[in-house]
Structure 1
Amino acid sequence: MIWLLRFVLLIFIVFFVYMGVKLLFQSSRKLESARKHKRFLLIDHDDVRRNFQLTYKGAVFAGEKYMGTANNTFDVVSISIWPENTASLKGMVKDDFYYLDQKILEHYPNAEISWKSPVKEFLQ
């Protein structure tokens, strides 16, 4: 009977260690850390139907990817990006958004990037 309790306790300890490690390496924690340190980070999933997130200079952006045909292959052909918090855009200049465009085009070279409001009006 005592060995059964020890076995159950061992299972609980392994489970909690696993959950702790999983939480430690979660992508949302990486994104929040990069935002706090005002670094660039792009978190993207291989699944085209899932949105991606990126952060740069303390601002967090979200983007949607759309599939289509490009050069006789299926690829991401259109990307829409918007800031999650417009107040965090304070202090950013046009070159910052062009830098973000270049970084996104490194991952999706056939994509056309369209910014949503208020960045769209700022870049025109």
Structure 2
Amino acid sequence: MVVLLFRLLILIAFILVVYTIIQYFRNPGRKLQIAKAANTFYMVDDQGNSKKNIQFVYKGCLFEGEKYIGATEEAFEVVDIHIFARDTDELEGITRDDLYFIEKELLMRYPYAAITWKYPINKLVLTTIE
């Protein structure tokens, strides 16, 4: 009886370890940090939840976007997204074309959204191209 109980406890512990490993590799925050280290684009977004912010990495800079819902002609959709950089020191090397790429990626997911950049990014977007 004791041996059977011990085997059951070992089986439960093994299942718990496997579950923990799977959750570790599926963690979106971990994937975000890997993309940041690799200087690639990666977005964490729950399109079904308008209260959850968008997080994305581009060229080693971590951005966050606040979604606001509003009425369109057909339904209630995300109509406004305010984007800011978590650490403004990471913005070094980000160009206007990079911001246009980010806007394009966001507009593919939220076609009715108006994208607003927060300080200091809005200074780059508002300056005229010479």
**Would you say same fold, with TM above 0.5?**
yes
Q: What's the RMSD between the two structures over aligned residues?
A: 0.8
Alpha-carbon separation, structure 2, partners of 1:114 and 1:47 = 20
Which residue number corresponds to residue 122 of structure 1?
124
- Provide the TM-score with structure 2 as the length reference: 0.92
Q: Indicate the residue corresponding to 2:5 in structure 1.
A: 4
Matched, 1:43 2:63: no
The yes-or-no answer on 1:94 pairing with 2:99 is no
Rounded Cα–Cα distance in structure 1 between residues aligned with 2:94 and 2:5 = 60
Q: Quote the residue 2:69 is aligned against.
A: 67
Specify the SS of the correspondent of 1:77. Answer: strand
Partner of 1:107: 109
Answer yes or no: is 1:26 the counterpart of 2:27.
Answer: yes
SS in 1 for 2:62: strand
Q: Which sections of structure 1, spanning at least 5 residues, go unmatched?
A: none
2:119 is matched by which residue type in structure 1? S
Identity in percent: 34
User: Structure 1 residue 107: deviation in Å?
Assistant: 0.3
- What stretches of structure 2 of length at least 5 have no aligned partner? none
Give how far 1:72 is off.
Answer: 2.7
Counterpart of 2:60 (choices 46, 55, 58) is: 58
Instruction: Spell out, residue by residue over 1:64-115, the C-alpha distance to the aligned partner (whole angstroms, 9 max, x if none).
Output: 1111111231100000000011111101111111111111000000000001
Which one of the candidate residues 59, 80, 83 is aligned to 2:82?
80
